[in-house]
Amino acid sequence: MKYQTTLAFAAVLGLAAPAAADLLQERNMPLDLAVSIASQAVEACAADKYNVTAAVVDRAGVLRALQRADRAGPHTVDAARAKAFTSASSRTPTSKMAENIQKNPAAAELTSIDGFLVLAGGVPIKAGDETIGAIGVGGAPGGNLDEACALSALEKVKDQLK
């Protein structure tokens, strides 16, 4: 009797259970690509005599690679990582976020989010239309220059991002 009750209860639960959901499939960046992107960004800035740090994070904003030029300031490590995290989290270049905040004062609250740094130099890394991570660069004498180094690095690896 106990066995039949258990089977009946299991059958009722089975009927009440929701249909199985499709599993999410996400592409992510391998370590060697993250290291290559960070190195390319530091090299691009070094060509212009800028000592920077480049951080690459995965789609969840977790650090995958960090490269710091020999003479880059110690503050550039946290700045690069925060720019990368901000860009990965928002899936938007940080320069665009800074521009939007200037145009819309209500958006200024974005700067209050823990870990966000809304300064130019963070750029999403995309494989097709999917954001798989981001790069952040800090240390050049202007966020626009940090961003230029990040974009240069991404241009060099674009064939690996398909």
Instruction: Write the pLDDT tens digit of every residue in 125-148.
Output: 999 999 999 999 999 999 999 999
Q: Is residue 94 part of a domain?
A: yes
Confidence of residue 19 (pLDDT cuts 50, 70, 90): low
Decide the pairing of beta strands 63-68 and 122-127: unpaired
Predicted local distance difference test score (pLDDT) of residue 145: 98
Predicted local distance difference test score (pLDDT) of residue 12: 47
- For residue range 49-75, list pLDDT tens digits in order: 999 999 999 999 999 999 999 999 999
Q: Is residue 13 part of a domain?
A: no
The candidate with the shortest Cα–Cα distance to 81, out of 132, 33, 138, 35, is 138
Could you tell me the two tokens for 101?
């905040």
Q: Is residue 12 part of a domain?
A: no
> Is 60 exceeded by the pLDDT of residue 8?
no
Average pLDDT, integer, range 31-56 = 98
Q: Is residue 35 part of a domain?
A: yes
Q: CATH number of the domain that 65 lies in?
A: 3.30.450.150
The candidate with the shortest Cα–Cα distance to 36, out of 147, 144, 133, 116, is 133
Could you tell me the two tokens for 136?
């952040």
Distance, in Å, from the CA atom of 102 to the CA atom of 133, rounded to the nearest integer, reads 25
Q: Is residue 8 part of a domain?
A: no
- For residue range 80-129, list pLDDT tens digits in order: 999 999 999 999 999 999 999 999 988 999 899 999 999 999 999 999 99
Distance, in Å, from the CA atom of 46 to the CA atom of 42, rounded to the nearest integer, reads 6
Q: Is residue 73 part of a domain?
A: yes
Q: Is residue 18 part of a domain?
A: no
Question: Under a CB-based contact definition with an 8 Å cutoff, are residues 138 and 115 in contact?
Answer: no
Confidence of residue 1 (pLDDT cuts 50, 70, 90): low
Q: Is residue 95 part of a domain?
A: yes
Segments forming the whole domain that contains residue 142: 28-160
Question: Under a CB-based contact definition with an 8 Å cutoff, are residues 34 and 133 in contact?
Answer: yes
Residues in the chain: 162
What is the value of pTM for the model shown?
0.85
Could you tell me the two tokens for 31?
């370590």
Q: Give how many domains the chain has, as a whole number.
A: 1
Distance, in Å, from the CA atom of 122 to the CA atom of 140, rounded to the nearest integer, reads 13
Distance, in Å, from the CA atom of 77 to the CA atom of 84, rounded to the nearest integer, reads 11
